[in-house]
Amino acid sequence: MVKTIMIGDVVGEPGLIALERELPFLIHKYNADLTVVNGENAADGFGLTEQTLNRILQSGADVVTSGNHIWEKREFWSVLEDNKQILRPANYPQNVPGRGWLKIRKNNVYWLVVNLQGRDKMKSIDCPFRTFDTIFMAHGDTNPPVIAVVDFHAESTQEKEAMGFYLDSRASVMAGTHTHVQTADNRILPRGLAYITDIGMTGVQDSIIGMDTQICVDRAVKQVPYHMTCALGESSIQGIVVEINENTGKSLSIKRIGHTASEPD
Ligand SMILES: [Fe+2]
Ligand SMILES: [Fe+2]
């Protein structure tokens, strides 16, 4: 049996502080074989910098996934090209910076980490379903099986559930990201895929998706796109830990990690 930890979008300095404080303990506590962290909001809420990427990697991430905010810092585009541990969604059209999947060997197991982005209420990029097919056909269908772990960065619950069932029997885990609010629907699908609609957010939970509450309320009420800044205060980590049979690729359990804003420690 092998284990993977996946951590939800790290938002700004409070998110990085929570990650640095809690992730090493979680990796040790669960004896995790692979750790994946979504870092798309690490640089003050918008994208990544080389420094914030390094802080996430030094906290224990083996692979850093991302999403729609990955393009925010132009100076980071060269890092996307040079550093194999940072992924952007794989289903952007060809010839954009970076890559969307990584095959790595860790603790005698081959892992295929794939980052995809949804299209419902998001940019109409290439098809995430067929993009997975192409990647899996080329790199995932091996014996012994590669353990395929997917971060599906998407807005729509329906599209995320569709992806879960589409990947069931090929991928071992489909973890939703992007909406920043952890969902309570973690479950094992019929053919062994560990599924959750959203693994949550690493940052200030008593906030609006990790950002300053008043600014977000003003944006909603006044319909003016005021610049959002990160919420300040107590921060914590959210994500999942999944147990997988490395011989069959089937997941055995999926458990949520972290606290919600309303729950006491
Ligand atoms: Fe995000
Ligand atoms: Fe996002």
Ligand closest to the CA atom of residue 201: 1
Q: Which residues pair with 110 in a beta bridge?
A: 105
Measure 31 CA to ligand 1 centroid, in angstroms.
26
Residue 139 a catalytic site member: no
pLDDT at 21: 97
CA distances for 119 relative to 147, 154, 181, angstroms: 25, 7, 19
Query: Is there a domain that residue 264 lies in?
Result: no
Q: Is position 24 within any domain?
A: yes
Residue 26 lies in a domain: yes
Q: For the chain (length 265 residues), average pLDDT per consecutive 10?
A: 98 98 97 98 98 98 98 97 98 96 94 98 97 96 89 98 98 98 98 98 97 97 97 97 96 92 58
CA of 214 to the centre of ligand 1 (A): 19
CATH number for the domain harbouring residue 137: 3.60.21.10
d(CA 78, ligand 2 centre) in Å: 20
Which ligand sits nearest to residue 67's alpha carbon? 2
What pLDDT, in 10s, does the model give residues 130-149? 999 999 999 998 877 899 99
Q: How far is residue 2 CA from its own chain's centroid?
A: 19
Tell me what the pLDDT averaged over the chain comes to. Answer: 96
Task: Find out whether 182 and 237 touch, Cβ atoms under 8 Å.
Answer: no
At 261 the pLDDT is: 63
Tell me how many domains the chain contains. 1
Which range marks the domain in which residue 8 is found? 2-258
Contact between 187 and 254 under an 8 Å Cβ cutoff? The reply is yes
State which residues have CB under 5 angstroms from ligand 1, the bound ion. Answer: 9, 40-41
Residue 235 placed within a domain: yes
Side-chain-side CA neighbours of residue 193 (13 Å): 23
What's the pTM value of the predicted model, to 2 decimals?
0.97
Q: What is the pLDDT of residue 27?
A: 98
**238 alpha carbon – ligand 2 mean position (Å):** 15
Residue 265 lies inside a defined structural domain of this protein? no
Q: Closest ligand to 115 CA?
A: 2
Q: What is the pLDDT of residue 265?
A: 52
